[in-house]
Chain A
Amino acid sequence: MVKDLVILKNITKAYQTGKVIYPVLNGIDLEVKEGDFLAIMGASGSGKSTLLNIIGLLDKPDSGEYFFDGQEVSKLNKKESAYIRNRKIGFVFQAFHLVPWATALENVLLPLLYKDEEITNEDKEKALELLKRLGLEKRINAKPSELSGGEQQRVAIARALINNPRLLLADEPTGNLDSQTTQEVMSIFKELNEKGLTVIIVTHDPEVAKFAKRIKLIKDGVFIKQ
C-alpha cells in the first residue's frame, strides 16, 4: 500500500493587519501519497501559496493537524522544522532565489551548509551530476547574473534535489519563464516524479497544471469540488 506523505486535517490560517483579520485558509483537508504529483490551482489571493508555505514548514497553521511522513509537525519549533526542511523537503520558487554572489555549483551545495556534516567530495560529485542531468555541465562556475531564467530555475531545481528530499514543493516555478522554457522545466518535474519523487506545485496556469497527475482548485481558502 502506498504511504501518505502529507496529511492536512482542517487547517486554518489567518493574517492580522492592525485590528483587521484576514482569513486565508478556512479548513483545508489534503492527503498526498508518496509518488503523487499534485497541482494546486487558484487565483491570486486564494490562499494557495500560504498552503504551500504550511506544507513546506515555512509557516504554521493557526489550527488543524499536519502529519508529514508520519510525524505531527504543526507545532514544531524553528530548529525542528529547519531540520525537516533541510533533509526532507526541496523548494523551487518563482523568483529562483539563487544567492547572487555564489556560482551555480555553490548554490546547489548551499543546503548542505546547514546539515551539520562536512561537505565531502562525494557531495560535490553529486551536485555536479545533478547539474549535468539538468544540462548545466558547462555553467557550473557561472554566477546567477550570467544565467538565463531557465538556467537559473534548473540550478534551483538541482539545489532542491541535493539532499534527496521526500517532497518537492514548487511555488509558481514557471511564473518568470517563457513558454518554451516552461515546457522544459515542467518536463523535468514530470521526469523526477516518474522516478518516484512526490511533487506539489502551486500555479494559476492550466498549461502547467496539465503536467500533474491530479489538480486541486482552491478558492477563498478551501478546496472546491471538481
Chain B
Amino acid sequence: MIFSFYTLKEIAKELFSNKVNLFFMLLALIISLTALNTIYSLGASAKKQILDALANVQFGKDAMLIIAGGGRIIGLTTTRRDTLKLEDVEELERLDFVKLASPMSRETLEVSYKDVAEKMRVEGVFPNFTLANNWYPILGRFVNEKDLRIFAKVCVIGADIPQKFNVPASELIGKKIKINKEFFEIVGVLEPKASFGHYRRDERILLPFTTAQRRVFNKDYIDGVKLLFKEGTDIKFAENKIREILRKRHKLSGPDPDDFRLITPELAISIFTKTVKTINFFLLVIGVISLIISGVIIMNLMYANIEEKAPIIALRIALGATPQNILTHYLIMSLIIALISGIIGWILSMILMQIISLFTPLKPLFSWVTFLISFGFAAATSIIFSLLPAIRATKIEPSLLLKSL
C-alpha cells in the first residue's frame, strides 16, 4: 500500500465517522498526557528554579558552604557546634584553590523598631559577604573595614524588613533599630533575593562581624563560612582537603564524626530537589497508570470500532487489501489519535502550568525534548494497545461477512 493522501484521507474519515468513539479515545489519552507533561514540567521547573536561585547567590559549581556542627545536612546537629573558629578560616584561606572565604555567625534575636518587635535572623558578616553571595545593597552602603575596626553599631537590613516595620525602605536609612537592647543605625538595605520554601532570605539583619561577636552574640566561634574556589577546582579534591584540615585542627581522630558539615552545590540541589523528586515519583507512577488505563480504553474502543466497521474491513479485503494493508490502516489511525491527543495534551499542560505559576514560583518550561517524549508516549500507548484489535481486523473473513449482509 502506497502511503498516499487518499489513504490518509480514508483513514481520517473513518476515524471521524464515529465522533463519540473518537472523543473518548482522545479524552483518555489527553488526560494522561496532560498529567504526565505537567508533572514533568513541574519537576523541571522546580529544578531550574533552584539552580537559578543557587547561581543567584553565588552558589555555582565553584562554591562551598561550611556549617558548624556535625550531623545530617538538614536537622539538628549531633556534635558540638562551637568548634569552628576564625583561625580555621584563616588556614583555609591559605589553600591555593581558595579564592575567597567569608565567615559568618548568626543568632535569632528580637529586633524592634518603634512599636514593632519580632524575632529575626541576625548575622555577623565581613565586607566580602557581598562578593561571596553576589548580594549587594540596593540602598545605602554595606558593612566596611572601618565598621569592623571600631565595632560600629551599624546594620544592613534585608529587603523584606522595611515592610515588616511598615516603613518605606528609603526612610529607614539613618534610623535606629533595637537588637537585644542595643541600638544600631541602619546604613543599607539589601537587594531582594529568591527564597526557597520557608526560608525567607530577605528577612535578615547583617551586623559587622566584630560588633556582632563582641556586643551582641558574645561568642568566639563562627557558624559558617562561604568559600569560593578558583575556576576549574576539583570540588571532590577540595572537599577532602578541607575536611582533612578541619578534622586535624579540631583534633578529631578516626571514629570521631565531623563537627562541621560541608555543603557543595550538588548536595544543595539534591536536598532541595529531594522533596520534589519524591512527589514527582508518585505523580509519575500515577501518570503511567493513567497512561495504561487510557491504553486499555483505546484498545476497547478500537475493538468496538473494528467490530462496527467489520463489513467495511471485509469490503476492503474483497477489493484487494492485504492483511498488511489492514494492519497499517489501523496503526496509522492510532498514530493520528496519538498526534491529536499529543498536541492537545501538550497545550493543556502548558495552560495548567500557567495556572500553577499564578500560585507558585514555578514557571512553565517549554522543551522540544519533552514535547517529543510526550508524543512518543502517546504514540507508543496508542500503537501498542491498538495492535491486538488491528491484528483481529486482518483476520476478518470477507466471504462470511459479505454474505451476512
The reply to whether B398 and A87 form a contact with Cβ atoms under 8 Å apart is no
Provide the residues of chain B in CB contact with A93, threshold 8 Å.
402, 405
For the complex, give the distance between the alpha carbons of A159 and B320 in Å.
Answer: 12
The reply to whether B13 and A119 form a contact with Cβ atoms under 8 Å apart is no
Given A85-B319, A97-B311: A113 and B405 within 8 A (CB)?
Answer: no
Other-chain residue from A53, A97, A99, A117 in contact with B405 (beta carbon distance below 8 A): A97
The reply to whether A114 and B319 form a contact with Cβ atoms under 8 Å apart is yes
The reply to whether A79 and B324 form a contact with Cβ atoms under 8 Å apart is yes
Query: Which of B1-9, B52-60, B148-156, B340-348 binds A?
Result: B1-9
The reply to whether B311 and A79 form a contact with Cβ atoms under 8 Å apart is no
The reply to whether A82 and B403 form a contact with Cβ atoms under 8 Å apart is no
Provide the residues of chain A in CB contact with B134, threshold 8 Å.
none
B322 within 8 A of partner (CB):
yes
For the complex, give the distance between the alpha carbons of A50 and B403 in Å.
Answer: 9
The reply to whether B10 and A78 form a contact with Cβ atoms under 8 Å apart is no
For the complex, give the distance between the alpha carbons of A182 and B221 in Å.
Answer: 109
The reply to whether B318 and A91 form a contact with Cβ atoms under 8 Å apart is yes
The reply to whether A58 and B323 form a contact with Cβ atoms under 8 Å apart is no
A221 within 8 A of partner (CB):
no
> Which residue on A lies nearest to B325, using beta carbons?
A114
The reply to whether B318 and A78 form a contact with Cβ atoms under 8 Å apart is no
A36 within 8 A of partner (CB):
no
> Which residue on A lies nearest to B12, using beta carbons?
A101
For the complex, give the distance between the alpha carbons of A59 and B397 in Å.
Answer: 8
The reply to whether B324 and A114 form a contact with Cβ atoms under 8 Å apart is no
Given A101-B17, A117-B2, A171-B402: A85 and B10 within 8 A (CB)?
Answer: no
For the complex, give the distance between the alpha carbons of A127 and B9 in Å.
Answer: 17
For the complex, give the distance between the alpha carbons of A109 and B4 in Å.
Answer: 13
CB-contacts of B27-48 with A (<8 A) = none
Provide the residues of chain B in CB contact with A85, threshold 8 Å.
318-320
For the complex, give the distance between the alpha carbons of A112 and B6 in Å.
Answer: 10
A15 to chain B minimum Cβ distance, whole angstroms, is: 9
Given A58-B398, A99-B315: A109 and B6 within 8 A (CB)?
Answer: yes
B291 within 8 A of partner (CB):
no
Other-chain residue from B2, B10, B322, B397 in contact with A106 (beta carbon distance below 8 A): B10
Interface residues of A, CB < 8 Å — how many? Answer: 37
A220 to chain B minimum Cβ distance, whole angstroms, is: 18
The reply to whether B399 and A114 form a contact with Cβ atoms under 8 Å apart is no
The reply to whether B318 and A58 form a contact with Cβ atoms under 8 Å apart is yes
B312 within 8 A of partner (CB):
yes
The reply to whether B1 and A116 form a contact with Cβ atoms under 8 Å apart is yes
Provide the residues of chain B in CB contact with A118, threshold 8 Å.
2, 4
For the complex, give the distance between the alpha carbons of A171 and B402 in Å.
Answer: 10
Given A58-B398, A58-B399, A97-B311: A86 and B320 within 8 A (CB)?
Answer: yes
> Which residue on B lies nearest to A80, using beta carbons?
B322
Provide the residues of chain B in CB contact with A82, threshold 8 Å.
317, 320-322, 325
The reply to whether A113 and B14 form a contact with Cβ atoms under 8 Å apart is no
> Which residue on B lies nearest to A53, using beta carbons?
B399
A125 to chain B minimum Cβ distance, whole angstroms, is: 15
For the complex, give the distance between the alpha carbons of A82 and B320 in Å.
Answer: 4
B356 to chain A minimum Cβ distance, whole angstroms, is: 41
Type the 1/0 row for B281-325, where 1 means its CB is closer than 8 Å to any CB of A: 000000000000000000000000000000110011111111111
> Which residue on B lies nearest to A171, using beta carbons?
B402
Other-chain residue from B1, B17, B403 in contact with A49 (beta carbon distance below 8 A): B403
Given A85-B318, A93-B402, A114-B1: A78 and B323 within 8 A (CB)?
Answer: yes
> Which residue on A lies nearest to B405, using beta carbons?
A95
Provide the residues of chain B in CB contact with A115, threshold 8 Å.
2, 320
> Which residue on A lies nearest to B311, using beta carbons?
A97
Q: Which residues from chain A sit less than 8 Å from chain B, CB to CB?
A: 49-50, 53, 56, 58-59, 78-79, 82-83, 85-87, 91, 93-95, 97, 99-102, 106, 109-119, 159, 163, 171
Q: Could you list 9 examples of A-B contacts with CB < 8 Å? A: A50-B399, A58-B402, A79-B324, A85-B319, A91-B318, A94-B405, A97-B311, A97-B315, A114-B319
